[in-house]
């Protein structure tokens, strides 16, 4: 955890957020700037600046983020219609907070970027 990181502060309960899920490894909460009716951020409780810091030993943690995303998609009624999982890595990709996070986005039709 880093004190300057807003996501670390949310995980520790030091900064307000609408948390929808939390366990020993993962925290999920509503974003402050939703792009779709459902837009949640799913973060590891352990601080990583980005995907670039992950190592082989972290593979199960990334799997855990994805499993939590699928659970939250079902709970929010978007699993059947479809949803998008997005991880931005670095400023050129649009990463604005230096804490690895997975966007769960859905609740409406989205343009296809890749098929």
Residue 56 within a domain:
yes
Q: Residue 31: which domain range?
A: 6-106
Catalytic residue ranges: 101
Total Cβ atoms within 10 A of residue 70 = 13
Assign residue 91 the CATH number of its domain. 3.30.428.10
Sheet (strand 26-30) strand order:
19-22, 26-30, 38-44, 102-106, 83-86
Please state whether the predicted TM-score (pTM) of the whole model is above 0.85: yes
Question: Which has the closest alpha carbon to 27: 102, 107, 105?
Answer: 102
Residue 68 within a domain:
yes
Residue 73 within a domain:
yes
Q: Which residue has the higher pLDDT, 1 or 72?
A: 72
Residue 79 within a domain:
yes
pLDDT tops 70 at residue 84: yes
The pLDDT assigned to 28 comes to 98
The values of phi and psi at residue 85, to 5°, are -110, 125
Number of structural domains the chain divides into: 1
Residue 112 within a domain:
no
């Amino acid at each position: 955890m880093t004190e300057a990181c807003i996501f670390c502060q949310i995980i520790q309960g030091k900064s307000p957020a609408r948390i929808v899920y939390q366990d020993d490894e993962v925290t999920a909460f509503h974003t402050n700037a939703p792009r779709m009716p459902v837009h949640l951020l799913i973060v590891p409780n352990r601080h990583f600046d980005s995907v670039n810091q992950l190592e082989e030993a972290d593979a199960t943690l990334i799997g855990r983020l994805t499993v939590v995303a699928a659970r939250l998609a079902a709970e929010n009624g978007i699993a059947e219609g479809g949803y998008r999982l997005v991880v931005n890595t670095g400023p050129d990709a649009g990463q604005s907070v230096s804490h690895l996070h997975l966007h769960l986005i859905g609740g409406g039709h989205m343009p296809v970027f890749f098929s």
